[in-house]
A and B are shown apart, each in its own frame.
Chain A
Amino acid sequence: MNEAVASQTGEIEGKWITCRFCEAPCLQRELLPGQELRCSRCDSTVMLHIPERSFQPPFALSLTGLFLLILANFIPILNFEVVGKSQADFMITGVIELWRQGYFFISLLVLFCAIIAPAVFLFCAFYLGFALALKMRPPGLALVSKVALAVRPWNLIPVYSIATVVAVVKLRMLGEVTWQPGARFVLAVAVMSVLCEQFSNRQIAYERLKELGVNIDE
């Protein structure tokens, strides 16, 4: 892609766009399918050719993720049994137990990173995917874009799913553990969430938002 590397000389006439990562000004140019414009300062992708159907995968994945997240929250993840006495684990059980033990901060942190942030992220991805795929401009699009960007680093459901596996391994040393159907939904939400992030190209979304007259830099 050397021929498409951004120029910052200012000799070529054209529109200037800002690198989304380091905010360097880069000169815009017409791109062919498969080409991309890269920032000469930080080497991040500044502009991409927008293929048709770019927004359909994140739209479908986020909608699926939202449904799965509801199921993951209402179906037990695992069951732990010691000497005939058993305890089921829902996603919210750990939050409630930590709160009951007086660790309010940890409880809220788990609630936010494992339940609230994934739900908000998937909802924002769904809302944006819907609007961008159909080239519509529903209300609050700029706000939803900003919330999606803000909440993205806090969506830790993939980490939660790995922690559940580690917890099961640990609990098997102490008693009998049985996986419950909720575990599949937690894993599925994590997969949907990761795929949704992979398929959501920030730069393409930004450019389509600009086409729709939404400026998220404001």
Chain B
Amino acid sequence: MSLSDRSRVNLSRALVVTGLVLYIPSNVMPVMTMSIIGKVDPLTVLGGVRELYDSGLALIAGVVFLASFILPLAKLLALAWVLFLHGSPKLRRERCKVFKIVHAIGSWSMIDIFLLAVLAAVGQLGALASVTAEPGCLVFAVVLLCSLIASEIYKPRLIWEGV
């Protein structure tokens, strides 16, 4: 399947807008519920970071905060800026550099989805310990996919061509 340049730009814009709109719910809604010996704890992305920080694991908390909270937003905002200036002759080199960085970041934000998968895998001990996914993880995954697919669809040559 081959997309026209116009479709690439429009699709990327739609994905970035969708990602930005869903970014807030993805951080407000719980992504999982952990239940350990009767203690039920719904966790949001930031809740998980705070829990790690409160346990004295500041470095790990920092890594998760950066990967799950900062990077998805930074990636979406950077893409939004590149797409907003699409067609304009302004700051083409800068846009290209930013786009390269967005590409290089990849999807480290997926750390939270994999974390959920590992926790759900071992959290099958009935009343003793259980980990269940919550709808927030779907919203979070959609945000990540929006930024990942948008950066794959938009081609850097379009920065210079401007359709």
Contact = CB atoms under 8 A, between A and B. Distances in A.
Given A83-B128, A103-B137, A174-B36, A160 B122 contact: no
Nearest to B64: A166
B137 to A, nearest CB: 6
A166 B124 contact: no
Interface in B83-128: 93, 96, 100, 103, 106-108, 110-126, 128
A174 B121 contact: no
A61 to B, nearest CB: 19
Nearest to B156: A22
B125 A82 contact: yes
A94 interface: yes
Nearest to B155: A23
Contacts of A153: 103, 106-107, 148, 152
Interface in A166-180: 166-167, 169-171, 173-175
A44 B52 CA distance: 40
Given A160-B114, A175-B36, A22 B96 contact: yes
B161 to A, nearest CB: 9
A186 to B, nearest CB: 10
- The size class of the interface chain B forms with chain A is 35 or more
B60 interface: yes
B85 to A, nearest CB: 15
B37 A83 contact: yes
A79 B96 CA distance: 46
B125 to A, nearest CB: 5
Contacts, number: 154
Interface-central residue, A77, A93, A163, by most chain B CB under 10 Å: A163
Given A89-B122, A93-B121, A97-B121, A106 B110 contact: no
For A23, A85, A88, A170, the residue with the greatest tally of chain B CB atoms inside 10 Å of its CB is: A170
A89 B118 contact: yes
B77 interface: no
Interface string A71-89: 0000001111011011111
Interface in A99-130: 101, 103, 105-106, 109-110, 113-114
A41 interface: yes
A156 interface: yes
A171 B115 contact: no
Interface of B: 34, 36-37, 48, 51-52, 55, 57, 60, 63-64, 67, 93, 96, 100, 103, 106-108, 110-126, 128-129, 132-133, 137-138, 141, 145, 148, 152, 155-157, 159-160
20 contacts: A80-B129, A87-B123, A93-B122, A94-B114, A97-B123, A98-B120, A106-B133, A106-B138, A109-B113, A109-B145, A113-B114, A153-B148, A156-B106, A156-B114, A160-B114, A162-B63, A163-B110, A163-B118, A166-B111, A169-B57
Which 6 pairs show the lowest CB-CB distances between chains A and B?
A: A94-B117, A163-B114, A93-B121, A80-B122, A94-B121, A167-B118
Given A41-B160, A163-B117, A166-B115, 5 more contacts: A22-B96, A79-B122, A82-B128, A98-B116, A174-B36
